[in-house]
């Protein structure tokens, strides 16, 4: 929803820099979706910032916001293979980080994960409300992200103090640990505009007005404006191209990051006699197909019904154009 705030008069565009908590963004908006190959600049430049109606003063028109040459600072930590849930998690994340790093306007700062054994109190099955001090203990693996929030807070404060050309800092997180940095910035640089974007989505079970996570009041108290969520449609229309050319090598969207990797892989396998290389298959699949009602095969492969159309086309093409004894994979 548009946000209104009238605090100060500015006659020039707000030069803006975005600070993204990658962990918060992933678990708040991207986990279990096909939107992980996210184009961060497009998301904020085309969707988030234009939706903010921040009034610089009483009776003033909404401020124009423009991204700085160093537009986005992204804070993350490489997944530990020992704790990864999928075999390709480490490689997939590395591809995305490489894709982001190929853009001069985006900087990627990495912390790390700590994996240790920890003794924790076990909830009593017969009396779940029993105090932890009265419960037994069990040894568990404890996985913690380290330095990412500290790196974000330090970078945020350093830029606020050292970059006078910046008129606005936008923070994408719902982590209370960032609140002290925002409080200090407000005290040291009261004229600097602070925007807050909560990385969460509308709750499908409760309707568009209910969010999966509440706005963190400890953060929003220091923000000139707050956007309470990111829409799924905004994520869907802010995707990087499948292949992102880097300085040394290209970063490629992982198969597992598509909506239905099982259907996509099946189609790629079936098409091997005519499209033996993945690049050839995707070049065909990403174009509108007149035989499929003008739709793109890659989009049809997002569900069972669409996949049937694509598979029927592929098998029919092989039958009609290749020798009769051509074996299907």
19 and 94 co-located in one domain: yes
Under the banding of pLDDT at 50, 70 and 90, the label for residue 35 is: very high
Answer yes or no: is 6 within a domain. Answer: no
Over residues 120-127, the mean pLDDT reads 90
Q: What percent of the chain has pLDDT over 90?
A: 74
162-192 pLDDT, tens digit per residue, is: 999 999 999 999 999 999 999 999 999 999 9
Half-sphere exposure of 69 (CA within 13 A, CB side): 2
- What's the pLDDT score for residue 7? 41
Check pLDDT > 60 for residue 34.
Answer: yes
State whether 62 and 151 are in the same domain: yes
Residue 250 lies in a domain: no
pLDDT higher at 212 or 155: 155
What is the number of domains present in the chain? 3
| Structure confidence at residue 201 (pLDDT) | 84
Q: 243-253: per-residue pLDDT in tens?
A: 999 888 999 99
The whole-number pLDDT of residue 329 equals 57
Tell me the whole-structure pTM to 2 decimals: 0.88
Residues 94, 180 within the same domain: yes
How high is the pLDDT of residue 322?
82
- Per DSSP, the residues of 253-292 read --GGGSS-HHHHHHHHHHTTTT--SHHHHHHHHTS-BGGG
Q: How far is it, in rounded angstroms, from Cα 257 to Cα 56?
A: 41
Last residue of a domain, one of 126, 144, 162: 144
Instruction: Look at residue 202 and tell me whether its pLDDT is greater than 50.
Output: yes
If we measure between CA atoms, which residue out of 112, 119, 78 comes closest to residue 96? 78
Per-residue pLDDT averaged across 96-113, rounded? 96
Domain that holds residue 126: 114-144
Highest mean pLDDT among 120-134, 249-263, 310-324: 249-263
């Amino acid at each position: 929803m548009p946000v209104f705030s009238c605090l100060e008069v500015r006659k020039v565009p707000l030069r803006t820099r975005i600070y993204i908590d990658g962990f918060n963004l992933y678990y708040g908006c991207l986990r279990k979706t096909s939107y992980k190959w996210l184009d961060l600049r497009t998301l904020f430049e085309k969707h988030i910032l234009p939706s903010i109606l921040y009034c610089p003063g009483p009776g003033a028109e909404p401020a124009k916001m423009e991204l700085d040459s160093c537009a986005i600072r992204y804070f993350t930590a490489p997944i530990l293979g020992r704790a990864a849930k999928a075999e390709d998690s480490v490689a997939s994340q590395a591809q995305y980080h490489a894709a982001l790093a190929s853009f001069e306007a985006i900087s990627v700062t990495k912390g790390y994960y700590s994996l240790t054994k920890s003794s924790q109190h076990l909830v009593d099955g017969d009396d779940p409300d029993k105090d932890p001090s009265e419960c037994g203990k069990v040894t568990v693996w404890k996985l913690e992200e380290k330095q990412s929030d500290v790196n974000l807070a330090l970078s945020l404060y350093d830029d606020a103090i050292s970059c006078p050309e910046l008129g606005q800092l936008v923070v994408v997180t719902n982590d209370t640990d960032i609140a002290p940095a925002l409080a200090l910035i407000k005290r040291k640089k009261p004229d600097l505009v602070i925007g807050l974007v909560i990385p969460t989505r509308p709750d499908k079970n409760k309707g568009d007005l209910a969010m999966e996570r509440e706005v963190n009041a400890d953060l929003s108290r220091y923000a000139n404006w707050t956007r309470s969520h990111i829409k799924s449609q905004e994520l869907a229309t802010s995707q990087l191209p499948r292949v992102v050319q880097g300085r040394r090598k290209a970063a490629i969207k992982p198969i597992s990051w598509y909506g239905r990797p099982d259907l996509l892989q099946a189609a790629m396998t079936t098409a091997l006699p005519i499209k033996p290389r993945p690049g050839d298959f995707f070049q065909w699949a990403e174009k509108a197909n007149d035989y499929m009602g003008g739709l793109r095969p890659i989009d049809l492969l997002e569900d069972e019904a669409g996949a049937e159309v694509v598979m029927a086309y592929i098998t029919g093409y092989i039958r009609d154009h290749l020798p009769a004894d051509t074996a299907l994979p």
